[in-house]
Structure 1
């Protein structure tokens, strides 16, 4: 499987932080805060759908919220494949940041 790119990884991390209760607006808020810029509403909903199609997320629709006019939410969970992707990315980032700089060596 090809590794997900920047936005997809950010969404996977956001879902991991709220696994089982991650929904579109929450994902948008978490990713926007992490990136320091507002994530578009469209990206907050299409990216999890794309990750679900790739087998990295599963989703279910909740019962409507218990308030007047309450709506259902689509909540996302990581799959085992997504957990492997995140573990590999964390390891790769650790190697990058933990590597000793070899400045000036050929």
Structure 2
């Protein structure tokens, strides 16, 4: 099986799609990252990254219904694919393994 390597922002976007589930669309992701991480995001960067994750087969997208509050425009929603879930699980395992090793390090000031 080929390993899928993600950049930090790709990992963040994939994680947010998993967190938001059926409410995962561009503006909701921007708002959730702002609320949870106090980090400002550019909506265009979010969309470009989501499309790249879709090209990698980690998310899929679909159009929601038109709404009056959006002037009749539809939202593009994203959801994890089984490959995306697998990558997130692998990333979680890798991060936990590294965090467990951290106390074993003998660094000045830690």
- Category of TM-score, reference length = shorter chain: 0.7 to 0.9
Superposed CA deviations along residues 60-100 of structure 1, whole A, max 9, x for unmatched, are 00110254723200000000111011101111111111124
Which 4+ runs in 1 deviate beyond 6 A?
A: none
How many residue pairs were aligned?
A: 104
- Aligned counterparts of 1:24 and 1:67: Cα–Cα separation in 2: 16
Q: Where does structure 2 lack aligned partners over 5 or more consecutive residues?
A: none
Q: Which residue of 2 aligns with 1:101?
A: 104
SS in structure 2 of the partner of residue 12 of structure 1: helix
TM-score when normalising by structure 1: 0.86
**More helix by proportion, 1 or 2?**
2
TM-score when normalising by structure 2: 0.83
RMSD: 1.9
- Aligned counterparts of 2:68 and 2:38: Cα–Cα separation in 1: 33
Q: Where does structure 1 lack aligned partners over 5 or more consecutive residues?
A: none
